[in-house]
Amino acid sequence: MHPAFERTSTTSAIPIHFVTASTWDAVANSLSEPARRFAQAQDFKAKAGKCLVLPTANGAIDAVLFGLDEAGSPKHDPFRPGQLPGLLPPGVYRFANAPHDARLATLAFALGCYRFARYRKNEAPDVRLVPPDGVDIDNVSRIADAAGLARDLINTPANDMGPAELEAAARDLASNYDTSFDCVIGDELLKKNFPLIHAVGMASPRAPRLIDFSWGDPAHPKVTLVGKGVCFDTGGVDLKPPGSMLIMKKDMGGAANVLALASMIMDAGLKVRLRVLIPAVENSVAGNAFRPLDVFPSRKGLSVEIGNTDAEGRLVLADALALADEDKPDLLIDLGTLTGAARVALGPELPPFYTNDEALAADVACCAREERDPLWRMPLWPAYDAWLDSKVADLNNAPSGGFAGSITCALFLQRFVEAAKSWLHVDIYGWTPSAKPARPEGGECQAARAIYRLLSQRYG
């Protein structure tokens, strides 16, 4: 169970009363007379995010008031209770009344306890929650634990999270379950036909690699996850400006979220044959770095002209997707922090997803809404496929012109998927630019919760 939760009697836990403007009078009338008078003396208003600790006559904590948005209002945030761990005094608490969504509020409480403390003392709040009745706390805990894993991996700077360290994190996760684990490193990538992964990572002294592990009954449906693991992206020879390079430690966010999703799947024991593929590289600048207009073969046999060395994520994913596709999975999913165009179109909180499977698209959209893990479908627009044409190779990795960058990236990746029964591509950001309830500034678990809900419904 996640450390934010406590299995104890609710009678000894401090009650948290959720209030809105419309429910405040009823909640106030349910309080003791001294508590009600104290709230009035403090001029407590039932506004979203407002918190008031109500004392007993001897100075102990009697109860807590916490304001929520009105249900159905445009500002309604089901993760608002994620503010509580940063506001409450140490202690064990319980929900005295139901928030708008008890499960998401419970998850928000755990996510709000997260602190990244690898390099300085930053202790998690000394608060715990007695889980509400009816909430599957084991499932909430595995989601919160997985989100913490993704955040930790993304938040770790590149000097301590290179390809080898990402491999170690994957090995550590895989070692908790009955998995088969393999990793192809350095020049072995060329010998085993992963030329694009090698090309992107060959300029770094930290050897590129392809991480590959499998779990589950081979007789179950095959689900393969592919995560972009660019541990730092300078942009290569097409060097990024300083502002764009500043948070490129997060460019392995696809890999981090794939590991988080794999953790949920394995811990829940879903009835799938899971395979995880992570091309882990560092896109560096050196004399042997790949260059614009270089041409490389790919695992699939398609030759690729380099239109831009800063469009490296799709290159490493291409070889990994080609390998995954050879296995003819029932469902092939890739996650990557891929394009600025996706952020321009939809911002940091709403990743686009792509698929030609209409049933899958509907299920993904539904699960994203239910889980409040936002995703928005974008089209694999066939007319733009011609933009990938090259005069000297089978295709170009970065069409000139700059239009529809997220779509053309998805179309590029689609060229490497043929045999999979269904394919889902998600262009995530993996980062929270400014803190929100339950979502501290920094690395973020994005899309993994929605996809886990989808897989749980299909293969639980």
Whether the pTM exceeds 0.95: the reply is yes
Query: Using CA of residue 239, residue 281, residue 318, residue 252, what is the dihedral sign?
Result: negative
Confidence of residue 71 (pLDDT cuts 50, 70, 90): confident
Instruction: Give the tokens for residue 100.
Output: 């708008």
Task: State residue 226 phi and psi, 5-degree precision.
Answer: -125, 125
pLDDT digits (tens, 9 = 90+) for 92-105: 999 999 999 999 99
What SS3 state is found at 39?
Answer: helix
DSSP codes, 197-211:
HHHHHTTSSS--EEE
Per DSSP bridges, beta strands 229-233 and 273-283 are parallel
Point out the catalytic residue in the list 36, 240, 372, 377. 240
pLDDT reading at 359 higher than 80: yes
pLDDT of residue 12: 87
Residue 66's identity, in one-letter code, is F
Does the active-site annotation cover 240?
yes
pLDDT average, residue stretch 51-75? 91
Going by C-beta distance under 8 Å and a sequence separation of 6 or more, which residues neighbour residue 281?
163, 197, 200, 201, 204, 208, 209, 229, 230, 231, 312, 316
Going by C-beta distance under 8 Å and a sequence separation of 6 or more, which residues neighbour residue 350?
374, 375, 376
Q: In angstroms, what CA-CA distances link 182 with 168, 246, 272, 420?
A: 12, 32, 19, 22
Does the active-site annotation cover 436?
no
pLDDT digits (tens, 9 = 90+) for 143-162: 999 999 999 999 999 999 99
- What structural domains does the chain harbor? 10-135 (3.40.220.10), 143-459 (3.40.630.10)
Of 420, 227, 218, the C-alpha closest to 329 is: 420
pLDDT average, residue stretch 197-226? 98
DSSP codes, 136-185:
-HHHHHHHHHHHHHHHHHHHS-GGG-SHHHHHHHHHHHHTTSSEEEEEEE
Q: Do residues 296 and 390 lie in contact, with contact meaning Cβ atoms separated by under 8 Å?
A: no
pLDDT digits (tens, 9 = 90+) for 164-188: 999 999 999 999 999 999 999 999 9
Percent above pLDDT 70 for the chain: 100
Q: Do residues 421 and 330 lie in contact, with contact meaning Cβ atoms separated by under 8 Å?
A: yes
Q: Do residues 48 and 68 lie in contact, with contact meaning Cβ atoms separated by under 8 Å?
A: yes
Confidence of residue 128 (pLDDT cuts 50, 70, 90): very high
Q: How far apart are CA 372 and CA 388, in angstroms?
A: 34
For the chain, the C-alpha Rg in angstroms (whole number) is 24
Q: Do residues 109 and 66 lie in contact, with contact meaning Cβ atoms separated by under 8 Å?
A: no
Q: In angstroms, what CA-CA distances link 408 with 98, 291, 319, 381?
A: 45, 20, 17, 8
Confidence of residue 122 (pLDDT cuts 50, 70, 90): confident
Point out the catalytic residue in the list 314, 343, 439, 453. 314
Helices and strands: H and E segment counts in the chain = 14, 19
Instruction: Give the tokens for residue 280.
Output: 């882990």
Q: Do residues 358 and 380 lie in contact, with contact meaning Cβ atoms separated by under 8 Å?
A: no
Largest Cα–Cα distance of the chain, in whole Å? 82
Q: Which residues pair with 65 in a beta bridge?
A: 17, 52
What are the strands, taking DSSP E only, across 158-305? 179-185, 209-215, 222-227, 229-233, 273-283, 295-296, 304-305
Instruction: Give the tokens for residue 253.
Output: 């966010």
Confidence of residue 59 (pLDDT cuts 50, 70, 90): confident
Q: How far apart are CA 187 and CA 259, in angstroms?
A: 25
Q: How far apart are CA 127 and CA 86, in angstroms?
A: 9
Confidence of residue 254 (pLDDT cuts 50, 70, 90): very high
pLDDT average, residue stretch 189-217? 98
